[in-house]
Amino acid sequence: MRILLVGARPPPDGGVTVLFEQLAQELGGLADVHVVDTSRRGRGRGVVAAATAARCAALLGRVDVIGHHASPAGATQFGPLLLSMARASGRPYVLRLFGGALDRWFTAQTPEKRRLYELILRADRVLLETRAQVAWFRARYPRARILWYPNIRPLYRRPRITRPATRRFVFLGHVKPTKGVRVLLDAVRLLGDVDLQVDVFGPLQDGLTTADLAGIEGLDYWGEIRANAVVPVLAAADALLLPSFYDGEGYPGVVLEAFAAGTPVIATRWRAIPELVEPGRNGMLVSPGDPAELAAAMRQLIVAPERLPVLRAGAWQTARRFTSTRWTRTYLHILRRVVAGEACVDPPPVGRLSLG
């Protein structure tokens, strides 16, 4: 299988670029892969578009399929070009769209931009991050060939899921109101009678300052965190806290990182988060914007630490369903079906794939 992968590589390090680079590296060990990088790195849009077109045109004769990986903005910039090149050359075009709020993004566009987006939905396959997004687009575009392809992460070595409770919780991400940070602060205040530790990591955004996080008993703000420290920090906690009501929430990468570290998650019933966090199995769900409910969930883990081994084991089992190596093999399976002209059907569980 000869594959042309088109997408943005790091730097900068972000969700889209990291996931694309991860796929490119892993897929390179399974197939003949040619990568075209669409990162701007200070270049103008026109320059990047011209370079992308030239590079893709030079490689089309050497590949069987085009795999395009993009944010909504990147898809509308490069998607029509790649789709037209694919149709002219007789190569299938598979589009993977990042983002958990594509429905809201789509409905907010001008009619002209929406028509452009509808054009690229004619790809031979369209891969979307959440099951909710798949259902939303399938209902509106029944002729589009849409499949579920989630946010994924590498699987680390199996964590020690029977470690003792520490009464330690962690928040890791953008420290801003829509991620529920003010809700978290109020919840910690409500737990003032409990001996606990909440560590907050990440960049301050949208008006929050260090003063907002200071002077709260049991809570410390540590600033931004190095990438290689994320897993140890998550593994040391009893639970990750994610009281988010952020409109763009899909499958938060930090949730998958926590599961891979064997750490349960207390999060909100918001957007696609309940597709990942299953109460009683790998975490707990609370209402958005409710500090009392968040505090009650944290208290449950503090007063009943015997629940933690079950939740930790469930977190690890969930992580195994979203491992990058498994889904890279699934991606290759999808491409092979497209090249063979087979019908668009959801791929089987990875363990049943026959990749030749």
Q: 3-state SS of the chain?
A: CEEEEEECCCCCCCHHHHHHHHHHHHHCCCCEEEEEECCCCCCCHHHHHHHHHHHHHHHHHHCCEEEEEECHHHHHHHHHHHHHHHHHHCCCEEEEECCCCHHHHHHCCCHHHHHHHHHHCCCCEEEECCHHHHHHHHHHCCCCCEEECCCCECCCCCCCCCCCCCCEEEEECCECHHHCHHHHHHHHHHCCCCCCEEEEECCECCCCCHHHHCCCCCEEECCCCCHHHHHHHHHCCCEEEECCCCCCCCCCHHHHHHHHCCCCEEEECCCCHHHCCCECCCEEEECCCCHHHHHHHHHHHHHCHHHHHHHHHHHHHHHHHCEHHHHHHHHHHHHHHHHCCCCCCCCCCHHHCCCC
Residues 278/318, Cβ–Cβ less than 8 Å? yes
pTM: 0.93
CA 241 to CA 257: how far, in whole Å? 13
CA 339 to CA 335: how far, in whole Å? 6
Give, rounded to a whole angstrom, the gap between the first and last alpha carbons of the chain.
Answer: 11
Task: Per residue of the chain (356 residues), give pLDDT as tens.
Answer: 999 999 999 988 888 999 999 999 999 999 999 999 999 888 888 899 999 999 999 999 999 999 999 999 899 999 999 999 999 999 999 999 998 889 999 999 999 889 989 999 999 999 999 999 999 999 999 999 999 999 998 887 777 778 889 999 999 999 999 999 999 999 999 999 999 999 999 999 999 999 999 999 999 999 999 988 999 999 999 999 999 999 999 999 999 999 999 999 999 999 999 999 999 999 999 999 999 999 999 999 999 999 999 999 999 999 999 999 999 999 999 999 999 999 999 887 654 454 44
Strand partners, 67: 5, 94
What fold does the segment set 2-152+323-352 form as a domain? Answer: Rossmann fold (3.40.50)
For residue 15, the model assigns a pLDDT of 83
Both tokens of residue 34? 């040619």
Rounded-to-10 torsion of CA 154, 156, 160, 163: -60
Q: Which amino acid is at 284?
A: M
What is the CATH code of the structural domain delimited by 168-321? 3.40.50.2000
For residue 130, the model assigns a pLDDT of 95
- Residue limits of CATH 3.40.50.2000 in the chain: 2-152+323-352, 168-321
For 105, phi then psi, to 5°, come to -60, -45
CA 138 to CA 24: how far, in whole Å? 28
For residue 40, the model assigns a pLDDT of 87
Rounded-to-10 torsion of CA 125, 323, 265, 289: -20
For residue 308, the model assigns a pLDDT of 96
Cα within 13 Å of Cα(329), Cβ side: 14
Tell me: cis bond preceding 11? Omega within 30 of 0 counts. Answer: yes
> How far is C-alpha 117 from the geometric centre of its chain's CA atoms?
21
Which residues make Cβ contacts (< 8 Å) with residue 288, sequence separation at least 6? 180, 183, 243, 244, 245, 268, 269, 270
For residue 349, the model assigns a pLDDT of 64
Tell me: cis bond preceding 12? Omega within 30 of 0 counts. Answer: yes
